[in-house]
Structure 1
Amino acid sequence: MLLIPCPHCGPRDQTEFSYCGDATVARPAAPEDADDATWIEYLYMRDNNKGLHEELWQHVHGCRQLVRVRRDVRNHEIKAEGPS
């Protein structure tokens, strides 16, 4: 179980949050002009690296704000957090 530090509410249990994905993925700048390969890259292709990973979590059972979390995926230790 993770203890996620919400910048608005303080440390809260992971069960109060909903995982919203990788915080480093950027949507195509001109979606109407993007080809299939660009959409496949955006939607499905992710690196599975060991180490620090930036994630977005929504505090759904609290302030409902998005929180940007930097988490070490090897041991789930949270290194940094902040508003999104």
Structure 2
Amino acid sequence: MEEKIIIIFKNQITGQSIDLEIPLNLSATELINGLNKGFDLGIDMDNPSRCYLRSKNPTTLIRGEVTLEEIGLRNGTIIYFDGVWQERQ
């Protein structure tokens, strides 16, 4: 059975907050790509320095080919999109 968690995704630009059920065996890049496409976030997936999200509980950057389980994400983790990298363009 595939292990899944329920996280809260908060888009701080639009104010949207949504609960999502996601598998723990996803890589951080796969999660970011899915959220980017699903919520039209405008993240440049070809630029590693701008391809990340941040989380609380645990507090960490979500990026790269590490799995969500390896990062330590768990039920109740909050993942934030704040577009900070957009301001640096």
TM superposition score normalised by structure 1: 0.33
Q: Flag the structure with more relative contact order, 1 or 2, with Cα contacts below 8 A and sequence separation at least 6.
A: 2
More helix per residue: 2
